[in-house]
Amino acid sequence: MTDARTGAPAETLMPPTTPDRVTGETALRVQGLSQGRTAEAAADHRRGPFRPERLVPLRERRANEAYAYLFRFSDLLLIAGVSLFVAQGLSSQGWQEALAADILPLLVAAVSLCWSLKSFDLYVYRRQERLSGHLLRVLAAVTLSLIAGFGTAGLSGRADLLIPVFGLWAVGVWLGLGSLHGASFGLVARWRRKGLLTPNIVIVGATRDAKILIEAALERRDVNILGIFDDRLSRAPGDVCGVPVLGDTEALLSHKITPYVDRVVVAVDPSARARVEGLIRRLSLLPNAVSLLVDVDSEAGRKTALDRLSEQSLSANGVGPSDTHRTLHKRLQDVVIGTLALLIFAPVMVVVAVLIKLDSPGPIFFRQRRHGMNNEVINVWKFRSMRTEAADPTAARQVSRDDDRVTRVGRFIRKTSLDELPQLFNVLRGDMSLVGPRPHAIGMKTGDANSAKLVAEYAWRHRIKPGMTGWAAIKGSRGALENAEDVRRRVQLDIDYIERQSFWFDLYIMAMTVPCILGDRHAVR
């Protein structure tokens, strides 16, 4: 027996020896268990030393970054609450009647504390930091704010009168912030253990530099190296320090592991300029971010490289709205507007569901596997518009005018895009966004060719979540793609949207969607 990848002789599985008293049935059972354990061990070996039990898509892990803003908002509420409570004691009539000279120092202390918490990077939660060190920095922030408050009180000549007030305020904010940050620190540590915050990378190049990086990562355990790809596969070993070599560079472009990868690291000697430039040019077609590994010979260089990889913001993903603020705002926009849209269109969806059921036998909904962000495979919901027996989940045959597969109700809901309304559930779930590149079916064909193969930059449209509507949709690129030029135009419009994405641009696209759909009499859907 030979290994399918290397052609080397594979280990022969021999049946275990058993005593004479063991029956043939028992011997077969023991043999099966032995083979099962051996196969399981082989599978674990192929997974490598970094592979978590469950691979979490980048989209899902990236959503956890929003909690840093929730942690900060909780701190702001606590500081405001303690400050108002303490201010009530400055006057028998409440803080509204207190002297401005008494209120101002407390206000300065509260604002200084909010600034200090952010300036001391207390919402970063570094991987190597201990809870005790984190709480000491919280104490330092409280102390600095007290100094600012007392300095202001001294200028007003009321420092001696405000000592009890500041003492109560300092105890209140320290105990409150200590509790909140202790809880958030524990929550972040738990997420890390589950692999929700640990960056996943793959390495291109089974080189000495790759080996050095992997050995350092094995010691630190703050980054997961899922696998290695090498453009010179015939020369590559089966694994490097236990990390499996999964294929050549071409295999990486369509590998099922890419939705879980934060960054592709090229570990090829930079002096080989032609090879490096060729690799980076080829890898730029991926939706994943790409980095070049340099200077890992020294301990300081290895530490710097791993620090950069492990602390890399999970929202940084190529071009487009990679900033965490924009990502959070877009998600809030999807949840708020998506919920309102679902409430508004719920009666329409009920009517459409009833009409579909009366028009033809079969389910009301149709699910189709499509590519989401970072090439993640998602199930997109739609109202069924075709006869059940003619359903085409891979879009091997795109819909044509007067398509005999489409039902009477289906023809109407496709023309008006009412069949897309169930995708509001995808939006609320986080698989999709209200606005973004429209998700295409996996394996969709344009003519006889796979649409993804017709344009080199096709995967760039997967650098953000797909949308229910998008820039391409309102610019006329809707429905079937009949030739390579149609595919190229849609990809270009999608990339244009990714580079320009903003809240107001999204609102404009949503506002223009309905008139564009109703006024489009040419698109075949």
Angle at 376 between CA 51 and CA 47, to 5 degrees: 15
Strand-pairing partners, residue 381, are: 367
Chunked mean pLDDT (size 10), the chain, 525 residues = 37 36 42 43 60 78 71 92 82 52 81 91 79 92 90 74 81 94 88 78 89 87 88 87 90 87 86 82 84 70 69 39 68 92 94 92 89 88 84 64 79 87 94 91 78 78 90 83 84 89 91 76 51
Report the C-alpha gap between 303 and 34 in whole angstroms.
Answer: 42
Question: Residue 225: how many CA atoms within 13 Å on its side-chain side?
Answer: 33
- Which residue in the block uniquely carries the two structure tokens 């006057």? 91
Report the C-alpha gap between 259 and 377 in whole angstroms.
Answer: 8
- Report if residue 319 sits inside a domain: no
Q: What is the DSSP string of 330-369?
A: HHHHHHHHHHHHHHHHHHHHHHHHHHHHHHSSS-SEEEEE
Are 72 and 156 members of one domain? Answer: yes
pLDDT of residue 312: 46
- Report if residue 52 sits inside a domain: no
Are 242 and 361 members of one domain? Answer: no
pLDDT of residue 460: 81
pLDDT of residue 394: 61
For 234, the enclosing helix (H) or strand (E) is: none
Are 420 and 497 members of one domain? Answer: yes
CA 345 from centroid of its chain's CA atoms: 29
Q: In 3D, which of 295, 310, 313, 311 has the Cα closest to residue 219?
A: 310
Are 351 and 467 members of one domain? Answer: yes
Overall residue count recorded for the chain in this entry: 525
- According to DSSP, residue 127 is labeled T
- Report if residue 55 sits inside a domain: no
- Report if residue 75 sits inside a domain: yes
> Could you tell me the residue range of the domain that residue 221 belongs to?
200-310
- Of 256, 279, 310, the residue at which a domain comes to its end is 310
Are 94 and 42 members of one domain? Answer: no
Are 245 and 103 members of one domain? Answer: no
- Report if residue 377 sits inside a domain: yes
**For the chain, what is the domain count?**
4
- Count the neighbouring beta carbons within 10 Å of the beta carbon of residue 97: 9
Give just the sign of the alpha carbon dihedral 501, 504, 509, 510: positive
Are 329 and 450 members of one domain? Answer: yes
Q: What is the DSSP string of 213-232?
A: HHHHHHHH--SEEEEEE-TT
State how far the alpha carbon of 148 is from the alpha carbons of 141, 167, 487, in Å. Answer: 11, 14, 60
Number of helices (H) and strands (E) in the chain: give both, helices first: 16, 12
Q: What is the DSSP string of 245-314?
A: EEE-HHHHHT-TTGGG-SEEEE-S-TT-HHHHHHHHHHHTTSSSEEEE----SSHHHHHHHHHHHHTS-T
Report the C-alpha gap between 468 and 511 in whole angstroms.
Answer: 13
- Of 310, 332, 365, the residue at which a domain comes to its end is 310
Are 184 and 270 members of one domain? Answer: no
- Report if residue 299 sits inside a domain: yes
Q: Yes or no: say if 436 and 466 are a contact pair by the CB < 8 Å rule.
A: yes
Are 106 and 2 members of one domain? Answer: no
Q: In 3D, which of 84, 85, 148 has the Cα closest to residue 115?
A: 148
- Report if residue 8 sits inside a domain: yes
Report the C-alpha gap between 320 and 342 in whole angstroms.
Answer: 28
For 512, the enclosing helix (H) or strand (E) is: helix 503-519
- Report if residue 524 sits inside a domain: no
State how far the alpha carbon of 313 is from the alpha carbons of 125, 146, 216, 479, in Å. Answer: 12, 33, 21, 36
Are 135 and 30 members of one domain? Answer: no
Report the C-alpha gap between 102 and 438 in whole angstroms.
Answer: 58
CA 292 from centroid of its chain's CA atoms: 22
Are 379 and 439 members of one domain? Answer: yes
Q: In 3D, which of 173, 182, 175 has the Cα closest to residue 84?
A: 173
Angle at 12 between CA 10 and CA 14, to 5 degrees: 165
- Of 169, 193, 217, the residue at which a domain comes to its end is 193
CATH number (domain holding residue 278): 3.40.50.720
Q: In 3D, which of 119, 105, 38 has the Cα closest to residue 72?
A: 119
Are 409 and 489 members of one domain? Answer: yes
